[in-house]
Chain A
């Protein structure tokens, strides 16, 4: 190709890219949310004299315009994929946006123990114990992150779970019994594209928790396993939509989705699930099947993040009650724990203040389980409400 032709190619190509980009930006319809990123996208900022000449420290129209045009850029997801692919395959980076791919899983790097967060969590747990739990059986368990189960740890920095756990146990052993779940889980017990564990793989975890909390009453139809008992049999049902977990969106690379399954047993038909978030008791399903078609299919389990839910199991032969202080991991295990209790109360102190719990929850004589994932405990400063 001659120099002249090359020059014209450069001009035409770049000219087309700029003009096509301008036109695409102007005509592309605005989106309100990004499903892959699970957040609302910036909309066109307010335009006026007062938004152009703003006071010092206040964002002007111009400051807000760039985030808006970036969020609303046409083919945004394709460009994010291009970025990830270029970083991983051309620049040979191991992780992109703190996301990395290993052993057929998408994972997030989080290698540092954040002492502020640990202190905050311990502070909240101690407060709750001192205020409400003097007459309760208190248990505590940390759900390991799936990073902990990678066979090749040296690939990416990872949190020292043993040290993390030890730091908590040092302060919580005085008021709670720790339940170690490490041996009950493995890498494939978690979704490949999400941080959560799979409900259909949780029976050993349920078993361990129930044994530790003293629920080993023999019942007809029980299935006896290694070191304990399971109540009845569960049927595994598979959702008919693919599950693209939260890490899928963050990583932006095309990988096969997960299959989302959930466990069903007869006692669930009789369970009454109630949500109190609006201040009134509102019935809700244990498995919210319409949520499978929403932004986050994991909200199938107890409709996702809620401050206060109760599950009453009239089929339970005892009068034991469980109060579960939990994060989103608790949503999928609570329906399974409900088999052993006449009432399970799920509390998420990211959405309800600890000092008002006494108005809504009766802790007297109940089993109380603090069950949190590593990620939440390591990033809860400011999230767990006062």
Chain B
């Protein structure tokens, strides 16, 4: 079941919320867990048992780890438990990828297992791993209440596509949370904004990708139009989902971590990854990069650490070489940027930060790299990625422009403009500015409910028009 579906909006959500708010507080977690299991089973009845098994494994491993007092044994059991989680994830996600690559070796032809990827396995597995590691490092106590742990792992707002919630961020909220009118209102606002981002912006921008794949007249303009649209689509799709997840969490009294902070307004790739999928970045930073030594190691080891983390980041997104290349692409530029930054810090007078030209150039630089990266990300395979990049550079014997590409540029120009303006945070600055004044705040307070209701109805119109509508990150 997806948030952007009639089934969720008009069947599951109203019934769930009525049950959630009607029952006494002590039963709230039970209702949430039952609702979450139903939510998951609706999309994946066959793998519900797998998720329950993983929750049980997380529960028992957590208690076991906590009971062990000797550091050596504790590390061993921790490693065992993490390995168990990674083996399960690896089996479902990477088996066929591995077999496909083995089959590239001459003389080998192993049958693929055609394993179906269970929805959300990457997210809930990582949450279990973060819980076990935090218990092991004594950052949190193991949760003895099975229901609470199950709610943490399986709660439906963040089950399928994040954000990746650390147990320590939510521990208290599992047992003591209050729901207030302002929080519910804020949650509704986040949810509707997320729904609009997903259905109105991301899906419309996704049409450009479909048109690009179907055309027989690829031009340089068309491929760049596709690249910009793909970048914006992925952002709005994923951030829209995160907004919906955070909004639903707020309605139920949970404060889920932010996952995006206007990453397309970044002025460097380093800055971008501090604002894009922040919970995943934080996970790999805290549980992989820092344990490997981070940047407090000799240069070669530091580069090795960056490469490992970014290979893992790429592979986490999908079992294909395009994702590995995508990760390595960012690793390369992160190393370059950090190296340049070190050089600049040694010579502070070289490049003053606030010259407008420099700022503009940096934004253009980031956008250029993002467009290239998301073309790789979106490609079906490396050959497809390479072809698209070739076209973007003007090579490949294609025209600069055609009547068709000009038409689609004009047709989607306004939505691209709106998307860029929203992605760069214009409306946040506008509302922050207006809220400084009493009149501005009053106007916003009158306009907000109307806009939310209108936006919601327009989203319903999109659903009616389009029918089934999966998220881009559905494969994770």
Contact = CB atoms under 8 A, between A and B. Distances in A.
B415 A154 contact: no
B394 to A, nearest CB: 23
A174 interface: no
Contact of B464 (A1, A19, A79): A79
Contacts of A386: none
A123 interface: no
A86 B459 CA distance: 11
Interface stretch (B70-78, B129-137, B287-295, B449-457): B449-457
Contacts of B14: 18-19, 21-22
B42 A4 contact: no
Contacts of B458: 82-83, 86
B10 A67 contact: no
A7 B10 contact: no
Interface in A45-104: 52-53, 56, 60, 62, 65-67, 69-70, 73, 76, 79-80, 82-83, 86-87, 91-95, 97
- With most chain A CB atoms within 10 A of its CB, the pick from B13, B216, B407 is B407
Interface stretch (A9-17, A235-243, A268-276, A315-323): A9-17
Interface stretch (B29-37, B179-187, B272-280, B297-305): B179-187
A contacts with B: majority SS: helix
A80 B445 CA distance: 30
Say which size band chain A's interface belongs to.
Answer: 35 or more
Given A69-B11, A112-B216, A14 B6 contact: no
Nearest to A113: B216
B442 interface: yes
A154 B10 CA distance: 43
Given A22-B10, A66-B467, A91-B415, A5 B45 contact: no
Interface in B183-201: 184-185, 188-189, 192
B456 A60 contact: no
Contacts of B116: 56
A93 B415 contact: yes
Contacts of B456: 14, 17
B468 A66 contact: yes
B467 A83 contact: no
Interface residues of B, number: 57
A155 B453 CA distance: 34
Contacts of A25: 6, 10-11
B457 A13 contact: no
B9 interface: yes
Contact of A13 (B43, B182, B412, B452): B452
Nearest to A71: B467
A64 B116 CA distance: 19
Interface in A144-197: 154-157
Interface string B396-422: 000000011001001111110010000
B443 to A, nearest CB: 9
B286 interface: no
Contacts of B204: 87, 91
B461 A79 contact: yes
A71 B293 CA distance: 56
A183 to B, nearest CB: 24
Task: Count chain A CB atoms within 10 A of each CB in B10, B181, B214 and give the residue with the most.
Answer: B10
B185 A6 contact: yes
B460 interface: yes
Interface of A: 1-11, 13-14, 17-19, 21-22, 25, 52-53, 56, 60, 62, 65-67, 69-70, 73, 76, 79-80, 82-83, 86-87, 91-95, 97, 111-112, 154-157
Interface of B: 1, 5-7, 9-11, 13-15, 17-18, 42-43, 45-46, 116, 181-182, 184-185, 188-189, 192, 204, 214-216, 403-404, 407, 410-415, 418, 441-442, 445-446, 448-449, 452-453, 456-458, 460-465, 467-468
23 contacts: A1-B442, A1-B445, A3-B441, A4-B181, A6-B446, A6-B449, A7-B185, A10-B448, A10-B452, A11-B181, A14-B453, A18-B14, A66-B5, A66-B467, A76-B464, A86-B461, A92-B414, A93-B415, A94-B407, A95-B411, A112-B216, A154-B407, A157-B403
